A and B are shown apart, each in its own frame.
Chain A
Amino acid sequence: MLRIPCPYCGTRDETEFIFGGPSHITRPKLEVDDETWTAYLYNRRNPAGAHDERWGHVYGCGRWFNVTRDTRTHEILRSYAMGLPPPDASDA
């Protein structure tokens, strides 16, 4: 069971949250070529290591936020508010 740090409510059990997939996927302009559009729609970084992802505190405050989590150990490295840029991986 993950213990997830909600930036607004503090650390709670995973059962209060819903997973929202990778963070920081930005839609390119509509005029881009097929490769770029395909990569935007389907390709994922899917790293074995630090992964920036969205979680929603659905059974708590209801707010969404970002979490950086190590996909090999499930260790949560940090949480940060929606809208902030991806943190520099070097200070993880």
Chain B
Amino acid sequence: MSADGLPMQRYSGLNLAWQALRRNKHWQSAWRDTTPKRGYEVVVIGGGGHGLATAYYLAKKHDIRNVALLERGCIGLGNSGRNTQVVRSNYFYPASVAFFDHSLKLYERLGRELNFNVMLSQRGVVNLGHSDHEMELLRRWCNAIRMNGVDSEMLTREEIKHLAPLVNLDGRFPVLGGFIQRRAGICRHDAVVWGYARAASALGVDIVQNCEVTGFDIRGNRVHGVETSQGPIAANKVVMNVAGYASVLAARAGLELPLTTMALQAMVTEPVKPVLDTMVTSGLVHAYVSQSDRGEIVIGGTADAYNSYAQRGGLRQMHEVVGAVLELFPSFSRLKLMRQWAGRVDITHDTSPIMGLTPIENLFINCGWGTGGYKAIPAGGDTMACTIATGKPHPLIEKFSLDRFKTSALVDEGAAAGVAH
């Protein structure tokens, strides 16, 4: 249902023409902004991509429509609107590849699923190798991806020159080759947030903004609801999806998590004509570069070194990332940086996420995405919705449980995963 109680308008060429004829005065709000009821079957905490996707799949695939999504600020203003839009599944371990490729497959049909153009552009992600030893590791990584049934192919120097002519192959760290996942690319992050919010709202999910969860109603080791800035809300099941704030929220439920929160920054230059139609990543110099649809060169790198909840990056890290990018693309030195920003990222010891059950009954968790949660949004929502509906971890996320730290069965993607976030 839409804000005015009518069925959701479908976006189409025909509707666009019809609304234009009516002077564009009859477009519906994309979703209903609601005040919360006193109780729900499921309360989803956090209105980023993962929370919205979880609410959507609960309603769509499990027919659980008595769902509230509580967001402390406005939806999509956290990491969902601050990332560099990369979607890829070129991970190393079978559990990671299976999960992230499920996500990429969902992204591939997300526009049709949500009736919202998410502007997916599968322009490929290239990882560069700068030494013979690194090339051997890239071959191992590339083969591991293929063994897990996902596309990946090695590239020669000449092929990289052809794909991205501006890359300096003979710099301080010469480029000897690399590999590419051609199905990887970028996808408009705000559209993913808006698309999931609109589709979830149409299925009856209540989206509540400016509603901070300040505490939990936990009795007999079981959650019965949440305390919020808009009053108490009862719930049979509660799920936390608050990237960058998970430790603070979990502490309100008495849980301590294996997380460290840091700032990850990104930046864009002034817009220029198309010069780069793929995405280039270097693990050695730790930087990645793409060009947005608006023409800006989008630059990212590694997280700042120390704990931070400030949502701003430091100059030291910015210098390192920009220096690395200019070594790879000397011609970009003439471009002005237009904007620089940072998101809070919750980093685990093995740089794999934490998803599934908690020690408290009916309280679920989805956190620890570190620097790469955006690409996981559809699969995160899909698998968490299934986990919440059935009370058992979805098979794709069994290895990412909070329990793995007790058994030390870590999924150590830290050394293996790519740099592009």
Contact = CB atoms under 8 A, between A and B. Distances in A.
A44 B310 contact: no
A41 B259 CA distance: 12
A71 B258 CA distance: 17
A35 B406 contact: yes
A1 B309 contact: no
A69 to B, nearest CB: 8
Given A19-B305, A43-B256, A46-B259, A34 B406 contact: yes
Interface string A66-91: 00010111100000000000000000
A10 B349 CA distance: 33
Nearest to B309: A48
A32 B256 CA distance: 18
Contact of B309 (A22, A53, A71): A71
Q: Looking at chain B, what size class is its interface with the partner chain?
A: 20 to 34
A1 B406 contact: no
A47 B308 CA distance: 9
B314 interface: yes
Nearest to B259: A46
A42 B316 contact: no
Interface in B230-277: 245, 247-248, 256-261
Given A34-B406, A35-B406, A38-B406, A46 B261 contact: yes
A74 B256 contact: no
Given A19-B305, A39-B256, A46-B247, A14 B314 contact: yes
Contacts of A57: none
Contacts of A38: 405-406
B339 to A, nearest CB: 19
Contacts of B261: 46, 48, 71
Contact of A48 (B245, B256, B406): B245
B315 interface: yes
A42 B314 contact: no
Contacts of A19: 305-306
A1 B314 contact: yes
B323 to A, nearest CB: 13
B307 interface: yes
A83 B315 CA distance: 31
A34 B407 CA distance: 9
B405 A15 contact: no
A53 B308 CA distance: 12
Contact of A71 (B257, B305, B308, B406): B308
B314 A53 contact: no
A42 B245 contact: no
Given A14-B316, A15-B316, A46 B310 contact: no
B352 to A, nearest CB: 13
A84 B90 CA distance: 46
Interface string B306-329: 111110001110000000000000
Contacts of A22: 307
Interface string B404-421: 011000000000000000
Given A46-B261, A71-B261, A53 B306 contact: yes
B11 to A, nearest CB: 39
A61 B333 CA distance: 35
Interface of B: 245, 247-248, 256-261, 305-310, 314-316, 349, 405-406
14 contacts: A2-B306, A34-B406, A38-B405, A41-B405, A42-B258, A42-B349, A43-B258, A43-B405, A44-B259, A45-B256, A46-B247, A48-B261, A71-B308, A74-B308
Closest 9 CB pairs of A and B: A42-B258, A46-B247, A48-B309, A19-B305, A43-B256, A1-B315, A42-B405, A19-B306, A38-B406
